[in-house]
Amino acid sequence: MLSGITFRALKAKEVLKVAEMKANMNHTFVICAYKESPFLEECVKSLLAQSESSVIKLATSTPNDYIIHISQKYNIDMYVNDGENGIAGDWNFAYSLTDTEYVTIAHQDDIYESEYAKRVLEKLNTCRKKPLIAFTDYGEIKYGKREKSTALLKIKRMLLLPIRPKCMQNKKWIKRGILSLGNPICCPSVTYARKNIPDKLFMTHFRSNVDWETWERLSKLDGSFVYCKDVLMFHRIHEGSETSSVINENKRGQEDYEMFQKFWPRFIAKMLTKKYASSEKYNKG
Protein backbone atom coordinates (compact mmCIF):
# COMPACT_ATOMS: atom_id res chain seq x y z
CA MET A 1 0.00 0.00 0.00
CA LEU A 2 1.28 3.46 -0.83
CA SER A 3 1.90 5.80 2.05
CA GLY A 4 0.18 9.19 2.08
CA ILE A 5 3.51 10.92 1.43
CA THR A 6 4.37 8.62 -1.50
CA PHE A 7 0.89 9.06 -2.97
CA ARG A 8 1.14 12.85 -2.70
CA ALA A 9 4.60 12.75 -4.32
CA LEU A 10 3.29 10.67 -7.23
CA LYS A 11 0.28 12.95 -7.56
CA ALA A 12 2.58 15.99 -7.65
CA LYS A 13 4.64 14.38 -10.42
CA GLU A 14 1.48 13.70 -12.44
CA VAL A 15 0.36 17.31 -12.04
CA LEU A 16 3.81 18.51 -13.10
CA LYS A 17 3.73 16.22 -16.13
CA VAL A 18 0.32 17.55 -17.17
CA ALA A 19 1.55 21.13 -16.69
CA GLU A 20 4.58 20.39 -18.85
CA MET A 21 2.35 18.90 -21.58
CA LYS A 22 0.18 21.99 -21.54
CA ALA A 23 3.26 24.18 -21.77
CA ASN A 24 4.41 22.24 -24.83
CA MET A 25 1.05 22.91 -26.44
CA ASN A 26 1.87 26.62 -26.39
CA HIS A 27 3.64 26.19 -29.73
CA THR A 28 2.34 25.25 -33.17
CA PHE A 29 4.10 24.01 -36.27
CA VAL A 30 2.08 24.74 -39.41
CA ILE A 31 3.40 22.94 -42.48
CA CYS A 32 2.88 24.75 -45.77
CA ALA A 33 2.38 22.02 -48.36
CA TYR A 34 2.31 22.70 -52.10
CA LYS A 35 1.55 20.30 -54.96
CA GLU A 36 3.35 16.95 -54.49
CA SER A 37 6.71 17.52 -52.82
CA PRO A 38 8.65 14.25 -52.38
CA PHE A 39 10.15 15.76 -49.22
CA LEU A 40 6.90 16.48 -47.35
CA GLU A 41 6.85 13.23 -45.41
CA GLU A 42 10.42 13.73 -44.20
CA CYS A 43 9.46 17.17 -42.92
CA VAL A 44 6.43 15.74 -41.09
CA LYS A 45 8.54 13.01 -39.47
CA SER A 46 11.05 15.57 -38.20
CA LEU A 47 8.26 17.51 -36.48
CA LEU A 48 6.75 14.40 -34.93
CA ALA A 49 10.21 13.44 -33.64
CA GLN A 50 10.64 16.65 -31.62
CA SER A 51 11.85 16.02 -28.06
CA GLU A 52 8.96 18.18 -26.84
CA SER A 53 5.58 17.90 -28.53
CA SER A 54 3.88 20.80 -30.28
CA VAL A 55 0.58 21.21 -32.09
CA ILE A 56 1.06 20.28 -35.76
CA LYS A 57 -1.22 21.44 -38.57
CA LEU A 58 -0.96 21.34 -42.36
CA ALA A 59 -2.04 24.12 -44.72
CA THR A 60 -2.26 23.96 -48.50
CA SER A 61 -3.69 25.89 -51.43
CA THR A 62 -3.24 22.86 -53.71
CA PRO A 63 -5.16 20.00 -52.10
CA ASN A 64 -4.50 16.63 -53.75
CA ASP A 65 -4.54 12.94 -52.95
CA TYR A 66 -0.86 12.94 -51.99
CA ILE A 67 -1.17 15.68 -49.36
CA ILE A 68 -4.41 14.19 -48.05
CA HIS A 69 -2.69 10.79 -47.73
CA ILE A 70 0.19 12.28 -45.73
CA SER A 71 -2.15 14.18 -43.41
CA GLN A 72 -4.27 11.07 -42.80
CA LYS A 73 -1.28 8.78 -42.37
CA TYR A 74 0.12 10.94 -39.57
CA ASN A 75 -3.24 12.12 -38.19
CA ILE A 76 -2.53 15.80 -38.90
CA ASP A 77 -5.40 18.21 -39.47
CA MET A 78 -5.31 19.66 -42.99
CA TYR A 79 -6.71 23.09 -43.94
CA VAL A 80 -7.27 24.40 -47.46
CA ASN A 81 -6.55 28.00 -48.39
CA ASP A 82 -9.17 29.10 -50.92
CA GLY A 83 -8.48 32.82 -50.42
CA GLU A 84 -5.42 34.94 -51.14
CA ASN A 85 -2.82 32.88 -52.96
CA GLY A 86 0.92 33.19 -53.56
CA ILE A 87 3.65 32.75 -50.94
CA ALA A 88 2.49 35.61 -48.71
CA GLY A 89 -1.14 34.51 -48.96
CA ASP A 90 -0.28 30.91 -48.10
CA TRP A 91 1.90 31.94 -45.15
CA ASN A 92 -0.71 34.35 -43.80
CA PHE A 93 -3.33 31.62 -44.06
CA ALA A 94 -1.08 29.16 -42.21
CA TYR A 95 -0.39 31.74 -39.51
CA SER A 96 -4.11 32.46 -39.11
CA LEU A 97 -4.81 28.80 -38.28
CA THR A 98 -3.01 29.04 -34.95
CA ASP A 99 -4.03 30.25 -31.52
CA THR A 100 -0.91 29.33 -29.55
CA GLU A 101 1.49 31.96 -28.27
CA TYR A 102 4.32 30.78 -30.50
CA VAL A 103 4.12 29.71 -34.15
CA THR A 104 6.60 28.17 -36.59
CA ILE A 105 5.69 28.04 -40.28
CA ALA A 106 7.44 24.90 -41.50
CA HIS A 107 8.31 24.61 -45.17
CA GLN A 108 7.49 21.24 -46.70
CA ASP A 109 10.99 20.60 -48.08
CA ASP A 110 12.90 21.29 -44.85
CA ILE A 111 13.68 19.20 -41.79
CA TYR A 112 14.03 20.14 -38.13
CA GLU A 113 16.41 18.74 -35.56
CA SER A 114 14.69 17.02 -32.64
CA GLU A 115 15.70 19.78 -30.18
CA TYR A 116 14.43 22.67 -32.33
CA ALA A 117 11.17 23.37 -30.48
CA LYS A 118 12.64 22.80 -27.03
CA ARG A 119 15.61 25.10 -27.58
CA VAL A 120 13.65 27.86 -29.28
CA LEU A 121 10.94 27.91 -26.62
CA GLU A 122 13.61 28.03 -23.91
CA LYS A 123 15.08 31.08 -25.61
CA LEU A 124 11.70 32.77 -25.96
CA ASN A 125 10.61 32.05 -22.40
CA THR A 126 13.84 33.44 -20.93
CA CYS A 127 13.90 36.55 -23.11
CA ARG A 128 13.95 39.58 -20.78
CA LYS A 129 12.73 42.00 -23.41
CA LYS A 130 9.53 41.46 -25.39
CA PRO A 131 10.29 38.81 -28.06
CA LEU A 132 9.09 39.40 -31.62
CA ILE A 133 10.66 36.42 -33.34
CA ALA A 134 13.18 33.73 -32.47
CA PHE A 135 15.36 32.11 -35.10
CA THR A 136 18.18 29.61 -35.26
CA ASP A 137 21.24 28.96 -37.32
CA TYR A 138 20.67 26.40 -40.04
CA GLY A 139 22.32 24.08 -42.49
CA GLU A 140 21.50 23.24 -46.09
CA ILE A 141 20.47 20.10 -47.93
CA LYS A 142 21.61 19.97 -51.52
CA TYR A 143 21.50 16.87 -53.71
CA GLY A 144 20.48 14.93 -50.59
CA LYS A 145 23.60 15.90 -48.64
CA ARG A 146 23.50 17.92 -45.41
CA GLU A 147 25.97 20.78 -45.12
CA LYS A 148 26.49 22.85 -41.97
CA SER A 149 29.21 25.11 -43.33
CA THR A 150 29.13 26.58 -46.84
CA ALA A 151 30.55 29.88 -48.09
CA LEU A 152 27.10 31.49 -47.97
CA LEU A 153 26.32 30.16 -44.50
CA LYS A 154 29.63 31.53 -43.20
CA ILE A 155 28.76 34.98 -44.57
CA LYS A 156 25.31 34.91 -42.96
CA ARG A 157 26.81 33.92 -39.61
CA MET A 158 29.18 36.86 -39.83
CA LEU A 159 26.23 39.18 -40.49
CA LEU A 160 24.52 37.82 -37.39
CA LEU A 161 27.48 38.28 -35.02
CA PRO A 162 26.18 41.64 -33.67
CA ILE A 163 22.91 40.09 -32.48
CA ARG A 164 24.41 37.16 -30.60
CA PRO A 165 24.61 38.97 -27.22
CA LYS A 166 21.23 39.02 -25.47
CA CYS A 167 21.69 42.66 -24.56
CA MET A 168 21.76 43.57 -28.26
CA GLN A 169 18.73 41.63 -29.46
CA ASN A 170 16.22 44.37 -28.66
CA LYS A 171 18.24 47.26 -30.16
CA LYS A 172 16.58 48.60 -33.28
CA TRP A 173 19.87 49.68 -34.85
CA ILE A 174 21.24 46.16 -34.37
CA LYS A 175 18.11 44.50 -35.75
CA ARG A 176 18.18 46.75 -38.78
CA GLY A 177 21.94 46.49 -39.12
CA ILE A 178 21.96 42.72 -39.56
CA LEU A 179 19.38 43.09 -42.35
CA SER A 180 21.05 45.97 -44.16
CA LEU A 181 23.57 43.86 -46.11
CA GLY A 182 21.24 41.03 -47.04
CA ASN A 183 18.86 38.57 -45.45
CA PRO A 184 20.74 36.32 -43.00
CA ILE A 185 17.60 35.00 -41.28
CA CYS A 186 16.35 31.68 -42.64
CA CYS A 187 12.56 31.92 -42.82
CA PRO A 188 11.68 28.32 -41.86
CA SER A 189 13.94 28.61 -38.80
CA VAL A 190 11.78 31.42 -37.39
CA THR A 191 9.25 31.12 -34.58
CA TYR A 192 6.83 34.03 -34.15
CA ALA A 193 5.65 35.46 -30.82
CA ARG A 194 2.18 36.18 -32.13
CA LYS A 195 0.92 38.38 -29.28
CA ASN A 196 3.70 40.90 -30.00
CA ILE A 197 3.45 41.16 -33.79
CA PRO A 198 0.77 41.98 -36.42
CA ASP A 199 -1.95 39.47 -37.29
CA LYS A 200 -1.34 39.96 -41.02
CA LEU A 201 2.32 39.22 -41.02
CA PHE A 202 3.35 38.93 -44.68
CA MET A 203 2.85 41.45 -47.48
CA THR A 204 2.04 40.31 -51.03
CA HIS A 205 4.41 42.71 -52.76
CA PHE A 206 7.32 40.30 -53.29
CA ARG A 207 7.85 36.73 -54.47
CA SER A 208 11.39 36.09 -53.27
CA ASN A 209 11.85 38.63 -50.47
CA VAL A 210 8.56 38.17 -48.62
CA ASP A 211 10.44 37.16 -45.47
CA TRP A 212 13.16 39.84 -45.69
CA GLU A 213 10.49 42.53 -46.02
CA THR A 214 8.72 41.10 -42.96
CA TRP A 215 11.91 41.18 -40.85
CA GLU A 216 12.49 44.77 -41.96
CA ARG A 217 9.03 45.85 -40.77
CA LEU A 218 9.36 43.94 -37.50
CA SER A 219 12.81 45.46 -36.88
CA LYS A 220 11.11 48.84 -36.39
CA LEU A 221 8.99 47.53 -33.50
CA ASP A 222 9.98 47.53 -29.85
CA GLY A 223 11.07 44.03 -28.92
CA SER A 224 13.75 41.40 -29.46
CA PHE A 225 15.00 39.29 -32.33
CA VAL A 226 15.98 36.23 -30.29
CA TYR A 227 18.86 34.35 -31.92
CA CYS A 228 19.98 30.78 -31.24
CA LYS A 229 23.37 30.18 -32.86
CA ASP A 230 22.99 26.40 -32.98
CA VAL A 231 22.11 24.61 -36.22
CA LEU A 232 18.62 23.31 -35.45
CA MET A 233 17.10 22.89 -38.90
CA PHE A 234 18.12 22.18 -42.48
CA HIS A 235 16.84 24.14 -45.47
CA ARG A 236 16.61 22.19 -48.72
CA ILE A 237 17.84 23.78 -51.93
CA HIS A 238 16.55 22.23 -55.13
CA GLU A 239 15.30 23.18 -58.58
CA GLY A 240 11.66 22.94 -57.62
CA SER A 241 11.86 25.55 -54.85
CA GLU A 242 10.29 28.98 -55.30
CA THR A 243 13.63 30.70 -54.60
CA SER A 244 15.33 28.76 -57.38
CA SER A 245 12.42 29.56 -59.69
CA VAL A 246 12.63 33.31 -59.07
CA ILE A 247 16.41 33.31 -59.51
CA ASN A 248 16.19 31.35 -62.75
CA GLU A 249 13.65 33.88 -64.03
CA ASN A 250 16.10 36.70 -63.18
CA LYS A 251 13.44 38.54 -61.19
CA ARG A 252 15.18 38.68 -57.84
CA GLY A 253 17.47 41.60 -58.60
CA GLN A 254 14.69 44.19 -58.59
CA GLU A 255 13.35 42.87 -55.31
CA ASP A 256 16.80 42.99 -53.73
CA TYR A 257 17.34 46.55 -54.94
CA GLU A 258 14.03 47.63 -53.44
CA MET A 259 14.97 46.05 -50.12
CA PHE A 260 18.42 47.66 -49.99
CA GLN A 261 16.80 51.06 -50.55
CA LYS A 262 15.06 50.65 -47.20
CA PHE A 263 18.48 50.91 -45.56
CA TRP A 264 20.76 52.80 -47.96
CA PRO A 265 20.83 55.64 -50.52
CA ARG A 266 20.15 54.50 -54.07
CA PHE A 267 23.74 54.45 -55.30
CA ILE A 268 24.82 52.21 -52.41
CA ALA A 269 21.71 50.05 -52.90
CA LYS A 270 22.69 49.50 -56.54
CA MET A 271 26.20 48.41 -55.59
CA LEU A 272 24.92 46.04 -52.92
CA THR A 273 22.38 44.55 -55.33
CA LYS A 274 25.13 43.67 -57.80
CA LYS A 275 27.26 42.16 -55.06
CA TYR A 276 24.31 40.27 -53.60
CA ALA A 277 23.50 38.78 -57.01
CA SER A 278 26.80 36.90 -56.95
CA SER A 279 25.54 34.88 -53.98
CA GLU A 280 22.45 33.69 -55.87
CA LYS A 281 24.34 30.82 -57.46
CA TYR A 282 24.39 29.13 -54.03
CA ASN A 283 20.58 29.05 -53.99
CA LYS A 284 20.14 27.39 -57.35
CA GLY A 285 19.13 23.79 -57.26
- Residue 59 and residue 30 in contact, taking contact as beta carbons nearer than 8 Å: yes
Q: Write out pLDDT tens, residues 159-178.
A: 999 999 999 999 999 999 99
6, pLDDT greater than 60: no
User: Helix (H, G, I), strand (E, B), or coil: what is residue 97?
Assistant: coil
Q: Specify the pLDDT at position 21.
A: 46
Domain 12-239 part of CATH 2.40.50.100: no
Average pLDDT over residues 254-265: 96
Residue type, 26: N
- Give me the long-range contacts of 71-78 (CB less than 8 A, separation at least 24): 74/44, 74/48, 76/31, 76/44
Indicate the domain borders of the chain: 12-239
Tell me the average pLDDT of the chain: 88
Position 105 confidence tier, pLDDT thresholds 50, 70, 90: very high
pTM, entire model: 0.87
Give me the percent of the chain exceeding a pLDDT of 90: 76
